[in-house]
Amino acid sequence: MKIEDKLFLDRFRVEEESHLKITDADKCKQCEDQPCLNLCPANVYRLEDGCIMVNYEGCLECGSCRIACPKLNIDWNYPRGGFGISHKFG
Amino acid sequence: MNETFDVAIVGAGPAGISAAITLANAGIKTVVVERGEYPGAKNMSGGVLYGHDLGQILPDFTKIPGFPIERNIIESRIWYLSKEAGISVGYRDSIFAGERKQNVFTVGRAKFDRWYADQARKKGALIVPATVVLDLIRENGRVTGVQTGRADGDIHAKVVLIADGVNSRLAVTAGFRPDVKPEHVALAVKEVIELAPEIIDQRFGVSDGNGVTTEILGAVAGGMDGVGVLYTNKASISLALGANLADFSKTKLKPYDLIETFKKHPMVAPLIAGGKSLEYTAHWLPEGGYDTMPKLYGDGYLIAGDSAMLFNAPHREGSNLAMLSGKMAADTIIEAMKTGDFSAKSLSAYNTKLSESKILQDMKKYRGFGGFLYDHKEIFETMPEIVQFGGRELLTVNAESKKTKQDKIIKKLRKDMGIPRFVRLMWSGFRAVK
Ligand SMILES: Cc1cc2nc3c(=O)[nH]c(=O)nc-3n(C[C@H](O)[C@H](O)[C@H](O)COP(=O)(O)OP(=O)(O)OC[C@H]3O[C@@H](n4cnc5c(N)ncnc54)[C@H](O)[C@@H]3O)c2cc1C
Ligand code: SF4
Ligand code: SF4
């Protein structure tokens, strides 16, 4: 089962504005391992034309990218109250 | 909502709601602020709860309408897996189907937390969902309320209970603890897999609403310091897999790929065969243990549950420590209400209560456990392979004598690991939990 299909099972109420922002895109270019690309359980971070894209809509709100980013380059907030994922079973 | 309460609680998880029920029972004006659309909307766990500890807060909980139990657990299994094989040990006891029913049972947190919050509401606590607490309000160095994301969203209170879980932005923003370090949490992903109740009964050899839990150790997460769980619900299986976040960074393994591999393991696959995935979620577990706990009280505030890093990893006890710490925080507040003194000195009674209970005693006992696992990666890679080699040698009947087989296994252990290292591993493992 692909990650896209897994996320398709979940219920999201998507906010217009992202709750995750890269603070400084240049820092990502100097980031050797780019761990956000691999450890995010929702595959939110993707590399497109050498730039990190943030597909915040599928974020599972675990917090991992924030603390695992070696440059602490992610401005991470909880989505506005009631937005983001809503677990059905939990 | 520019209103004043006696107590403002951040987070409607087991810790916050247990405190709210205890406070509301004592007639104290309490508000609980929760960021999820409803309590439980953001929460996930394996789903095991403990009747004794829940009973401390809600006696007779089984008789309350709508009690959202999935299955009563009568057997606990432990597996130790290599990539293609595994050892299984289980303990089943009829006492858990009879006299000690609901000693351990499973729930889905989205349903349980919602039901639990309803009990607090019925007793008079105000639950405010869909609202994020952004910061604490402070006057002259003491906490006097919370600032929420709503317009006019300041809530004033005599005391604030921080029960916002392991990813406690609030405690960090307030400077009550540094941000979590990757090596102090495990990142877990979970799938809920739908199966007909009769099929679950057959596959696990149970009936009458009973079920089985399985804790899964060894090579479950591509050699990382990780664990898995497989728990039975009424009409689904909870399958979760977690590993230390620092390991995820180093290995570049992807959580969703790992759980797919896990689902195909020969011990797991037959139990979930034909099942349909219903949900995929992710959450941290606080694994840093005693040494990563912040100070749990100060002028006008207390911290309970996961945000205090209260988690007993070897026994997968977290929700019950959250419940009990929430109750102890509430009991401390109830006492402080009598004098009106909410200073750090007065609230330090909370620490005394925690120290005298199993919470801090267990946290201290397993202080070295997380570090032990993290420092001994052979448990997750080399050892499982040796076990698989040994199992295959011993159980394959061929021309070789048993003595030859035994020698081969010892030779393998010598070569892959070395006897002294093996002995040291056993010894430090024993010291980490003694
Ligand atoms: C994979 C996995 C398996 C587990 N299995 C078990 C198990 O089988 N048994 C067990 O006992 N424990 C288990 N645990 C641990 C258990 O889930 C936790 O210990 C428990 O949920 C802690 O309760 P809590 O109330 O402290 O925190 P949480 O349950 O995390 O509740 C915190 C609440 O605060 C809310 N919140 C957070 N920030 C804010 C904010 N700023 N404003 C408003 N609201 C906010 C959250 O939405 C949430 O509802 C498991 C955990 C995981 C991840
Ligand atoms: S880990 Fe941080 S710095 Fe590196 S690429 Fe990702 S966001 Fe950028
Ligand atoms: S919070 Fe978790 S799910 Fe969301 S982007 Fe970060 S790592 Fe991915």
User: What is the CATH classification number for the domain harbouring B225?
Assistant: 3.30.9.90
Does some domain include residue A10? Answer: yes
**Chain A interface, best mutation among B147, B155, B256, by max A CB count within 10 A:** B256
Is A90 among the domain residues?
Answer: no
Domain membership of residue B80 (yes or no) is no
* B310 and B417 together in one domain: no
User: Is B84 within a domain?
Assistant: no
Would you call B43 and A87 a contact, using CB atoms and an 8 Å cutoff? yes
- CA-based end-to-end distance of chain B: 51
CATH number at A51 reads 3.30.70.20
Is B231 a domain residue? yes
Smallest CA–CA separation between B201 and chain A, in Å? 20
Residues paired with residue A13 on neighbouring β-strands, in sequence order: A84
Q: What residue's CA is closest to ligand 1, atom 5?
A: B46
The answer to whether residues B58 and B187 belong to one domain is: no
Domain end point (choices B218, B253, B286): B286
Whole-number pLDDT of residue B400: 94
Residue B410 domain-assigned (yes or no): yes
Are the Cβ atoms of A81 and B47 closer than 8 angstroms?
no
pLDDT in tens, A7-50: 999 999 999 999 999 999 999 999 999 999 999 999 999 999 99
Position B218 pLDDT exceeds 70? yes
The reply to whether B73 falls in a domain is no
Q: Give the three-state DSSP class for A31.
A: coil
pLDDT number for residue B370: 86
E strands along B60-153, which residues?
A: 72-81, 86-92, 104-106, 126-128, 133-139, 142-148
Query: Do B221 and B315 fall into the same domain?
Result: no
Pick from B122, B422, B380: which is nearest to B242 by CA?
Answer: B380
Q: Indicate the SS3 state at residue B413.
A: helix
Q: Does B44 touch chain A (CB under 8 A)?
A: yes
Q: Inform me whether the C-beta atom of residue A25 falls under 8 Å from chain B C-beta atoms.
A: no
Confidence of residue B175 (pLDDT cuts 50, 70, 90): very high
* Best CA proximity match to B432, nearest among B313, B308, B285: B313
Chain B residues with CB under 8 Å of A70 CB are 249
Cα(B240) to ligand 1 centroid in Å equals 15
* Contact across the interface for A80 and B41, Cβ inside 8 Å: no
Could you tell me if A80 lies within 8 Å of chain B, comparing CB atoms?
A: yes
Question: How many Å lie between the centroid of ligand 2 and the Cα of residue A31?
Answer: 6
Mean pLDDT check: name the lowest of A5-14, B64-73, B168-177, B232-241: B168-177
Q: How confident is the model at residue B1 (pLDDT cuts 50, 70, 90)?
A: low
Same domain (yes/no): B249, B301? no
Do residue A90 and residue B45 have CB atoms under 8 angstroms apart? yes
pLDDT in tens, B309-327: 999 988 889 999 999 999 9
Tokens of B309: 């890093």
Q: How many CB atoms lie within 10 A of CB A11?
A: 11
State phi, psi for B257 to the nearest 5 degrees: -70, -40
Could you tell me the pTM of the whole model? Answer: 0.96
Q: Closest to A64 (Cβ–Cβ): which among B36, B37, B187? A: B187
Return the higher-pLDDT residue of B432 and B347: B347
A74 CA closest ligand 2 atom index: 7
Task: Kindly state the average pLDDT of the residues B205-225.
Answer: 95
Would A34 be classed as within a structural domain?
yes
Q: Are residues B198 and B334 in the same domain?
A: no
Is the distance from the beta carbon of residue A35 to the nearest atom of ligand 2 less than 6 Å?
yes
Specify if A43 maps to a domain.
yes
Q: Tell me how many domains chain A contains.
A: 1
Residue of B nearest to A77 (CA): B169
For chain B, the average pLDDT equals 95
Distance (Å, rounded) from C-alpha B350 to C-alpha B342? 12
Rounded distance from Cα B68 to ligand 3 centre (Å)? 29
Q: Find the B68 Cα to ligand 1 centroid distance in Å.
A: 17
Mind listing the pLDDT tens digit for each residue in B39-89?
Answer: 999 999 999 999 999 999 999 999 999 999 999 999 999 999 999 999 999
Q: Which of residues 173-212 of B touch A (CB under 8 A)?
A: 179-182, 185, 187, 189, 191-192
Do B260 and B328 belong together in one domain? no
My answer on whether B385 and B239 are in the same domain is: no
The reply to whether B385 and B261 lie within a common domain is no
Single out the residue of B239, B242, B267 nearest to residue B89, CA to CA: B267
Q: Is residue A26 part of a domain?
A: yes
Q: Relative to the CA of A28, which ligand 2 atom is closest? A: 8
Note whether B49 and B156 are same-domain residues. yes
Name the band, by pLDDT with cuts 50, 70 and 90, for residue B179: very high
How far apart are the C-alpha atoms of B320 and A70, rounded to whole Å? 34
Q: Which residues of A touch B110 (CB under 8 A)?
A: 86-90
* In a shared domain, residues B351 and B422: no
Stretch B412-417: mean pLDDT, rounded?
Answer: 92
* B168 Cα: distance to centroid of ligand 1 (angstroms): 10
Same domain flag for B121 and B152? yes
B322 CA distance to ligand 1 centroid (A)?
A: 8
Number of helices (H) and strands (E), helices first, in chain A? 4, 6
The answer to whether position B88 is within a domain reads no
CATH number at residue B55: 3.50.50.60
Give the residue numbers spanning the domain of B429: 381-433
- Residue B2 clears pLDDT 80, i.e. is over it: no
Single out the residue in B261, B286, B311 at which a domain terminates.
B286
Does A90 contact B187 at a Cβ distance shorter than 8 Å? Answer: no
CB of B300 closer than 8 Å to CB of B336:
no
Do residue B156 and residue B190 come from a single domain? no
Is the CB–ligand 3 distance for residue A78 below 6 Å? no
> Does the pLDDT value for residue B419 go beyond 90?
no
In the predicted model, is pLDDT for residue B125 greater than 70? Answer: yes
Query: Which domain covers residue A64, as residue numbers?
Result: 3-80
Whether B100 is covered by a domain: the verdict is no
In a domain, residue A55? The reply is yes
Query: Does some domain include residue B421?
Result: yes
Indicate whether B431 pLDDT > 70: yes
At residue B374 the predicted structure's pLDDT band, cuts being 50, 70 and 90, is: confident
Q: What integer pLDDT is reported at residue B433 of this predicted model?
A: 81
Asked whether residue A65 is domain-assigned, the answer is: yes
Distance of residue A4 Cα from the nearest chain B Cα, in angstroms:
10
**pLDDT tens across B247-306, in order?**
999 999 999 999 999 999 999 999 999 999 999 999 999 999 999 999 999 999 999 999
Atom 3 of ligand 2, nearest CA residue: A28
- Measure in Å the smallest separation between the Cα of A21 and chain B Cα atoms: 16
Give yes or no for residue A62 CB within 6 A of ligand 3: yes
Answer with the one of B241, B270, B286 that is the final residue of a domain: B286
B278 touching A, CB under 8 A?
yes
Structural domain includes residue A88 = no
Q: Model confidence at B423, in pLDDT bands (50, 70, 90)?
A: confident
A66 in Cβ contact with A54 (< 8 Å) = no
How many structural domains does chain B have? 3
> How far does residue A20's CA lie from ligand 3's centre (Å)?
9
| Cβ contact A87:A33 at 8 Å | no
Q: Which residues have a Cβ under 8 Å from the Cβ of B107 and sit 6 or more positions away?
A: B47, B49, B68, B69, B70
Q: To test the ligand 1 pocket, which listed residue (B45, B113, B189, B280) has its Cβ within 8 A of the most ligand atoms?
A: B45
> Mean pLDDT over residues B135-144, rounded?
96
